[in-house]
Amino acid sequence: MNRLITICAVLLAVQLGLAAWTHLGGPGDAAAPVRGPVLPVDPATVDELRLEDNAGATLVLKKAGEGWMLPGLADFPADSGRVRALVERLASLQRSWPEATTAEAAGRFQVAADRFERRLTLRGGGKDLGRVFLGGSAGLRRVYLRAEGDQDIFAVELAGRDQELDPNSWIDTAVLRLQPDQVARIDLPGFSLIRHEDALVVEGLAANEEMVGASRDSLVERITALAVRGVLKADDPAAASLDDPVLRLAVHPVQGEVREYRFGRVETPPAPSAGGQEPQPAPARFVLRVSGHARLFEVDSWQVEEIRHLNRAALVQAKTAPAAADQPAATAPAQAAPPAGGQ
C-alpha cells in the first residue's frame, strides 16, 4: 500500500511539472524573470497613438503642441490628460512573471500578431516606437498584454475605456467651458443676466424684487460648464432639429466674441417592446450649434432641461418685509397732564 501511495505521489509531481513546463513554454522559464520595462519607450518622445482592432477599425490620436487631437474628427481636441495618462501607463509597465510564453497561449489569450483584441502602437518622429497586443480579460480591469517581438504574456491593469475605438469617447468634453467671472452678460428667453460688481443679476430687477442666489448660481454654472458628449458633422441629419430650436441663448464674455447657442431636440422612433406592450419612448436626444464652431455637438438632455427650467421666475423673488423686531418701536402720543386741583 505504501509503495502504491509513493508511486501515485511521484506521478502527480511529474504531471504538475509537465503542466508548468507547458504553460510557461519550456525549461528555461524556471529562472527568475527578466526585469525592466515591457515597452521601453520615453513618453516625452511619443507624438502619435494608433489603436486598431482585428477587423481593421482604427483610432488615431496626434499630439498638437501641449495637447492631443483627433484627426478623424477634423482635429477636434482630445482629452489630453487621459491620452497622456495612457502613454505614461504603458511606458511604466514593468516585466514580472509572465502568464505564459508559448505561441499557442498567445492565440488563446488573443495577443498574437494575427489574433488580438486591440493592437496599440506608439509613434514618434514618424516612426514606430513600440507596439503591444491587448487580449481578453484577465480579471477586473485587467487584460492580457504582449509586446511585439516578445514571447512573454502579462496580465496588466488597463481600463476598458482606454481601448475604445469610437473617436467620440476620446473628445475633450469640456471644450465649451468658460470661467463664470469672465462672463459679462447672458441673454436667455425672456430675460438677461448682466454683471453687477462681482455677480450676474437679472436685468431690470424691480425695487421690490431680489435675486435667488442659489438658483442664479446653478444656471450660470450649467451654462459655463456645459459638457458635450459627442461631435457631429455640420450636415448631420440631426441638424434639421435646429430649424425650430427648443432653446436659444447668448453668452457675452468680458473679452472676445459673443457665443450664440442653439439647442435642438432630435425626434427618435420609440424603442420596440416585447410581449405586445406599448412601445417605450426613446430617451430625448439634443444637439447644439455654437457660433464659431464648425461642427455640431451632442449634449445630455438633463443639462438642457435644467437650463430651460431655471427661468426668470426661478431666479427672482419678492423682497421679504423686515421682521417686526427690526422695525422701530412706535411712540404713543403723550397725554396731557390733568389740571391742578383735580378740576
List, as one string, the DSSP characters of 115-150. EESEEEEEEETTEEEEEEEEEEEEETTEEEEEETT-
- Provide mean pLDDT across the span 249-269: 94
CATH number corresponding to 180-268+284-320 = 2.60.40
- What's the grid cell of residue 78? 482630445
Q: What is the DSSP letter of 171?
A: B
- What's the grid cell of residue 176? 465649451
pLDDT band at 22 (very low <50, low <70, confident <90, very high): very low
The domain ranges of the chain are: 23-170, 180-268+284-320
Q: What is the pLDDT of residue 21?
A: 43
Cα separation, 264 vs 243, whole angstroms: 8
Cα separation, 117 vs 135, whole angstroms: 5
- What's the grid cell of residue 190? 425672456
In angstroms, the first-to-last Cα distance of the chain is 140
How many beta carbons lie within 10 A of that of residue 62, not counting itself? 17
Q: What is the pLDDT of residue 14?
A: 45
Comparing CA positions, the residue from 181, 8, 161 lying closest to residue 85 is 161
Residue 85, pLDDT above cutoff 80: yes
Q: What is the pLDDT of residue 321?
A: 72
Q: How many residues does the chain have?
A: 343
pLDDT band at 27 (very low <50, low <70, confident <90, very high): very low
How many beta carbons lie within 10 A of that of residue 25, not counting itself? 18
Higher-pLDDT residue of 22 and 183 is: 183
Q: What is the pLDDT of residue 19?
A: 47
Adjacent-strand bridge partners of 192: 187
- Residue 146, helix vs strand vs coil: strand
pLDDT band at 278 (very low <50, low <70, confident <90, very high): confident
**Distance, CA of 188 to chain centre:** 27
- Provide mean pLDDT across the span 324-334: 53
- What's the grid cell of residue 234? 455640420
pLDDT band at 307 (very low <50, low <70, confident <90, very high): very high
| Whether the predicted model's global pTM rises above the 0.75 cut | yes
Q: What is the pLDDT of residue 35?
A: 82
pLDDT in tens, 39-68: 999 999 999 999 999 999 999 999 999 999
pLDDT in tens, 187-246: 999 999 999 989 999 999 999 999 999 999 999 999 999 999 999 998 999 999 999 999
Q: What is the pLDDT of residue 191?
A: 97
By mean pLDDT, which of 33-42, 44-53, 69-78, 327-336 is the weakest? 327-336
- Provide mean pLDDT across the span 109-130: 97
Adjacent-strand bridge partners of 287: 264, 298
Residue 10, pLDDT above cutoff 80: no
Q: What is the pLDDT of residue 34?
A: 74
Amino acid present at 121: T
Q: What is the pLDDT of residue 341?
A: 47
Residue 29, pLDDT above cutoff 50: no
Helix 213-224 to helix 301-309 angle (10° resolution) is 140
Q: What is the pLDDT of residue 274?
A: 63
Higher-pLDDT residue of 5 and 148 is: 148
- Provide mean pLDDT across the span 124-146: 95
Q: Within 13 Å of residue 220, how many CA atoms lie on the same side as its CB? A: 25
By mean pLDDT, which of 42-56, 170-184, 199-213, 258-272 is the weakest? 258-272
Q: What is the pLDDT of residue 318?
A: 95
By mean pLDDT, which of 4-8, 19-23, 88-92 is the weakest? 19-23
pLDDT band at 276 (very low <50, low <70, confident <90, very high): low
